Amino acid sequence: MSEQDRVDEQSKDRSLENYRVAPGAKLTTDEGHPISNTDDSLKAGGRGPTLLEDFHFQQKLSAFDRERIPERVVHARGAGAHGYFQPYESMAELTKAKFLGDPSTKTPVFVRFSIVVGSRGAADAVRDVRGFAVKFYTEDGNYDIVGNNMPVFFIQDAIKFPDLVHAIKPEPDNEMPQASSAHPSFWDFISLIPESMHMIMWLLSDRALPRNFSTMQGFGVHTFRWVNAEGKSHFVKYHWKPLAGVHSNVFDEAQKIAGKDPDFQRRTLWESIDKGIFPEYELGVQIIAEEDELNFDFDILDSTKIIPEELVPVRPIGKMVLNRNPDNFFAETEQVAYQPSNVVPGIDFSDDPLLQGRLMSYHDTQLHRLGSPNFVHLPINRPVCPFSNNNQDGRMQMDIKTSRVNYSPNSLGDNLPAPVAEADGGFVTFPERVEGHKIRERSPSFGEHFSQATLFWNSLSTGEKDRLVEAAHFELGKVPQVEVKQRMLDRFNKVDGELAKRVALGLGMPAPTEPATPNHGQKSAALSQENTTKTAKGRMVAILAADGVDGAQIAMLKHTLSAMHVGSEIVSKFGNMIKSADGGEIAVDKTFLTTASVLYDAVYVPGGAASIEALKAHGEALNFIHEAYKHFKPIAASGEGMDLLMQSDLKGIDLSQKNGKVSDELGVVTSRDASDMAAFATAFIDAIKEHRFWLRPVPGTASVEAKAMALNPPASAVSA
């Protein structure tokens, strides 16, 4: 068996095929005792007391009582998926990591996405940082990239992490709010920690509201080290770029999703894989030669900083595909244990003080959560390569070791297991020269905190800036302490003077009196989501229909959407079946009661006079369209379907002038003449690729009002 076949076979074992219930399986205790009745406890008479000797009852209830393990302090709510990673080319010139050295090798992976602040019972679509953790099951052991969907972090030194988490979690006196940073203790802490300002700009941006995990970027956050076979070292930054593009929800939409479907992001991931629409991500790296480490105007070991792609381009090196859902959520997604300290030969650490603290903290967390150093024996954590050492006993020891020796060196067991020489692939730490006094202080190179926050602000589109300002209004509007808000306005003033004025305006406070820090004017195109990939693959379309709908129009559009890997669902007032105009039956997927506009990426209204008249009389159908329009989503209508759009009163678009031809105005695709459905479908798919139409005039939203405020702020608000 080849090495790759062995890796594939051992990865297949992790699918838990060996743990499935076999056909005809009989009920037993955990020790294998056959059980005749699991519905009634053993009693002294039918109405008598339960007997202590009922061993099955005791085992069943004691196992149930212990089903919950301590949830993660952060990243408690997550979703996972299996897949593989394959490099595009050999990276052997830069690292001796074997899984990056052969483009024909597919390395099994397990990925866990998560929110940071909320508990396991929180909703998915909250404003928060997202975890993006990847476990590679390589032939040299497990390698974990434990990152986030933002490339920077709040703090520079891990010793501040407990303070950060205490501040952002529910407040200790009342345990509120859940999964939210919009409360006094968080902003009090942040207003006193200037190093957090760059991360705060990301947190207030659209990046904190990803549409789903398939359209979410990932980053390793820290600077790591690659070492090749000759011992040459380079610094490296990791980037995961989704091939579906980087897209987000708007805040109003996210709040409604949290209520309509708290599981929206994990459900979308599961259903996408289940349908064969596999999420794909390209792994890219920024490579910095050792001799260039100090050639930037920031410190590359500072986790509150990025390396702009204009300075060091991201080099694509491989692709990850997620193609299998977990067999059991608890056994895999909940028990998977990621550790930044899990590295393979060819990959090493930098002196980033935030990373250095995580190397200890993550392992300590797993010991607490999973209760034993033997958590690596769990199937989801177990490496695909053989492993052996002299560790012994403890909870969850699953290996039956037969050797008489458990120490090293030894002569009674041929001195096995034996250390592996570096020449044979043994891990050797890079011999970095280290010297200095034992002190508690921050490097002066970590001392500048605002220029990259300004870079981020400058790089956003007008709409992205508007939504960031709106987020600041919401978050700080939840803080009653004026002094905290004033400190934050002073922080914003160091990022950009106009930003500070706009935030102050929404808070009803005077702008800072101190002169603003001059804006350096620099931008980085990669920081705006509007410069992302445009594709329709993986999107979901709601088709609104009732009895009398034109079934041919539905069939044509669904066929075209499916060919482009776009999903669609029929939404109607009642479930089961509706009748088409030609007498056929069409299955209803969801009703207006069981779904909502916010759960779809686009909306289509087919023709059929009777169907449209029924939908006109149903307020939820009109609200469905209005909400999709308000959230800037593509909307399409053919034939009489245009009449429903006209009744929905889409502001700024005159549908009465659209006759006979396919037309697309600000993402509203219409055709009164449905004879050319192919051209109509093509235009609709092109609109879906755009994801959102941010220039759409939607009165009552921040996209319009914030622009007006920014251009013409009241003199009293900005002169103080």
Burial track 345-379 (b if 16+ CB lie within 10 A, e otherwise) = bbbbbbebbbbbbbeebbbebbeebbeebbbbebb
Which strands, in side-by-side order, build the sheet including 635-638?
Answer: 590-591, 567-572, 540-544, 602-605, 635-638, 668-671, 663-665
The CA dihedral of 604, 609, 613, 616, to the nearest 10 degrees, is 30
What DSSP letter does each residue of 183-245 carry, written as one string?
Answer: SHHHHHHHHT-GGGHHHHHHHHSGGGSBS-GGG--EE--S-EEEE-TT--EEEEEEEEEETT-
* 663-665/233-242 β-pairing: unpaired
Residue type, 523: K
Report the Cα 87 to chain-centroid distance in Å. 22
Cα of 204 vs its chain's centroid, Å: 16
User: What is the identity of the amino acid at 631?
Assistant: H
Q: Whole-angstrom Cα distance, residue 285 to residue 268?
A: 28
Whether the Cβ atoms of residue 540 and residue 567 lie closer than 8 Å to each other: yes
Encoded tokens for 464 = 């992205």
- Report d(CA 46, CA 454) in Å as an integer: 75
The SS3 assignment for 637 reads: strand
By C-alpha distance, which of 501, 457, 524, 390 is closest to 205? 457
Beta-carbon count within 10 A of 415 CB: 12
CA torsion, ordered 324, 328, 333, 334, to nearest 10 deg: 180
Our answer to whether residue 519 is catalytic in this structure is no
CB 524 within 8 A of CB 455: yes
Cβ-contact 54, 41 below 8 angstroms? yes
Report the C-alpha gap between 667 and 637 in whole angstroms. 11
CB 146 within 8 A of CB 133: yes
Q: Which long-range contacts (CB under 8 A, 24 or more apart) does 532-536 make?
A: 532/245, 532/246, 532/247, 533/242, 533/243, 533/244, 533/245, 533/246, 534/245, 534/689, 534/690, 534/691, 535/243, 535/244, 535/245, 535/689, 536/564, 536/565, 536/566, 536/685, 536/688, 536/689
- Among 142, 148, 325, 458, the active-site one is 148
Single out the catalytic residue among 75, 234, 631, 691: 75
> Which of left, alpha, beta for 432 (phi over 0: left; psi -120 to 50: alpha)?
beta
Q: Which of 553, 694, 684, 718 is nearest to 247 (CA)?
A: 694
SS3 label, residue 341: coil
Q: Which residue type sits at 85? A: F
Tokens of 52: 């202590």
C-alpha 491/C-alpha 520 separation (Å) is: 16
C-alpha 333: how far from its chain's center? 14
Q: Which residues are catalytic?
A: 75, 148
